[in-house]
Amino acid sequence: MSVSILVILALNAWLPAQAHTSFRFNKFNACTLYQIENPSICSGAICLTNQSQQHMSSRALYTEPVRMKDPNSRNMSSSFSTTFVFTIVPLSSSPSHGGQGMAFIITPSKSSVGHSSAQFVGLFNIFSVGKPSNHLFAVEFDTTLNEEYQDINDNYVGMDLNGLTSVKVEPAGYRIGNQLHQIDLNSGHNIQAWIDYNHTQNQLNVTMVEAGSLRPKEPLISLNITNLSNIFEEEMYVGFSAATGTIVEDHCVLAWSFSTNGSVPELDLSHLPSLIMPKNSSSRLIAEITTPLALVLLLLVVAALFWWRRNKYRDDIDEWEMEYWPHRFKYKDLHIATKGFQDEQVLGCGGFGRVYKGVLPANGLEVAVKSIFKEANEALKEIIAEISSLGHLQHRNLVQIRGYCRRGAKLFIVYDYMQNGSLDKMIFDNSESVLAWVHRYRILRDVAAGLLYLHEGWEKMVVHRDIKSSNVLLDSELNGKLGDFGLARRYEHKGNLLTTRVVGTLGYIAPELVNTGKAAPSADVFSFGILMLEVACGRRPVDPSLDAFQIILIEWVRELYAKVRLMDAADPNLGGECVEHEMEKVLKLGLLCCNPKPEARPAMRQVLQIIEGEACLPSLDPYEMSGESSSLYPSTGVSFGSISRSLDGR
């Protein structure tokens, strides 16, 4: 596969909505969906409402927008299929109908239409219901009768477009032949539903059955619908909405899969919980419980408590760990530090797992605890060996690794806590203030100093391999510290560099890595150059929302430099409040570090000297900017080789 194709595939991952979306959640956690108002996690299920509050509404949406119109024809809706398992659990004292029900929704915005009301299944308020501007598609699973919206009963399924008067409505259930077998939505049992739309046939089908049963061949609702293209915008959010009235219920989604323009992934129903409340035992049943059975149960409870107390804070230490870094935390201490790894302690989520804020009980030190799950024992050995070695790194511009803890297949890495979070959040997600230039320049100097230490200042050479703004953390005084050594590799000084798989983050990866796979210090220099441009310009390395010639930050800055308009790249949010010669130096040095030829890039020692004013910035030759990198981002229509004007140091 060519370099161009590889990078096109990678660049597509940055697009806000893809032509094809497919996902599956067999259970949920706190980071799975975007939650509005009141959803909570219960036994791996998303509970949109609960039995503790009347007249409430909430939503849970897939975090990324989905392309709901054919990219080749914006007037044609995309086909989609979804299946999900849900349950509506009534208050045990009021099992009758009367709640407001729930709905699967496709909506153009994460926020609700107006201020949604529990009276309207959490979809609309009295002023917004029925308006064409809503652009909202919903399939209701309703447990209340509203005659004003022509509801047929208090246990039905209806398809809504922009309002609550369903264009098609049927009693809840499934069909076998001509016979309808009704399903009580309010029973508390798990129910599986399928919603399928074929845009070529303009056919929409809704099918449902009690979870675990075979899918009926005949849909409950089958409707030929031609106006979905008027409802759907190009990008939409998919998810669920629910509401309670005076009679409160739990509205929960236990599993969910979704796909556009393809088959929907099948759900694993083997481990779904049952949220139905058990009924109170009758006095007759209590009377029939014998004394021996009660004694056996008591003994089992005592034994279980003993085992739980003994193993709750058990540490797993294998013999092979003894050869590594001795600073190993007790699981009990990390459990106490993070308040039992509670959701409110979560600092962030990623593909590796979660990062928790904690306070060590022994000394009150604030730390960040990263959790990693690795099924393979050999992978754990490799990570612990690497972390134990990198734990000896000591530099004021590196986030200090304090130690680790292993519990089964879970690995916890303990770092110093940084009060001001990451650099990217400070620049891009800080609506209250703009990070001043004096802080930005100092942070770049700090990161350069830390990176120089990794390359030259320790007993081994360390290549970080993931330099980016989200891995630059800021302490209470906004000092920059380079963190996250999960991809770092150690080498002997002047030793052979090993070929590894290409890792890193799109927009920061040096072009030669795609071909060689060898992580050299010059690749870190390239990534640092991108970081310099990102900080100076206030722009991410790749931004598909911009015009084609501006999507790739490095190409845009090179083009401005060639046109003698380099200062036009400065972050407009700074309002001109920067030291002009420092801004110009950072932009030029960033271009120098991003030279497509690794041998033409400066070493980090020279980079730091230039930032600190101890060395002069060399001139840049535009012809040195051409090379393999000119094909790195072919979809933009702009290449490094297209810059023909002299880069003479102006």
> Cα dihedral angle (205, 210, 213, 217), rounded to 10 degrees?
-20
Active site residue 70: no
Q: Which amino acid is at 422?
A: S
CA pair distance 467, 36, nearest whole angstrom: 33
**CA max distance for the chain:** 95
Q: Which amino acid is at 345?
A: Q
Alpha carbon 222 to its chain's center: 35
Q: Which two tokens stand for residue 32?
A: 């799975």
Which one from 466, 484, 524, 571 is the annotated catalytic residue?
466
Q: Which amino acid is at 233?
A: E
Among 193, 226, 259, 233, which Cα is nearest to 23's?
259
Q: Are 420 and 477 in contact (CB under 8 A)?
A: no
Q: Which amino acid is at 134?
A: N
CA pair distance 452, 458, nearest whole angstrom: 9
Query: What backbone phi and psi angles, to 5 degrees, belong to 413?
Result: -110, 130
Residue carrying structure tokens 């799109």: 506
Q: Which two tokens stand for residue 387?
A: 């972390």
CA pair distance 558, 567, nearest whole angstrom: 11
Q: How many CB atoms lie within 10 A of CB 479?
A: 16
Name the burial class of residue 24, with classes exposed (0-12), middle (13-18) and buried (19+) by CB atoms within 10 angstroms of its CB.
Answer: middle
Q: Which two tokens stand for residue 140?
A: 């209701």
| End-to-end Cα spacing for the chain | 40
Helices marked H in 393-520: 423-428, 437-452, 511-516
CA pair distance 542, 549, nearest whole angstrom: 11
Instruction: State the DSSP string of 157-169.
Output: EEEEESSSS-SEE
Coil/strand/helix, residue 329: coil
Q: How many residues does the chain have?
A: 650
CA pair distance 83, 582, nearest whole angstrom: 56
CA pair distance 124, 163, nearest whole angstrom: 8
Alpha carbon 470 to its chain's center: 14
Among 468, 638, 457, 450, which Cα is nearest to 558's?
638
Q: Would you please indicate which residues are annotated as catalytic (active-site) residues? A: 466
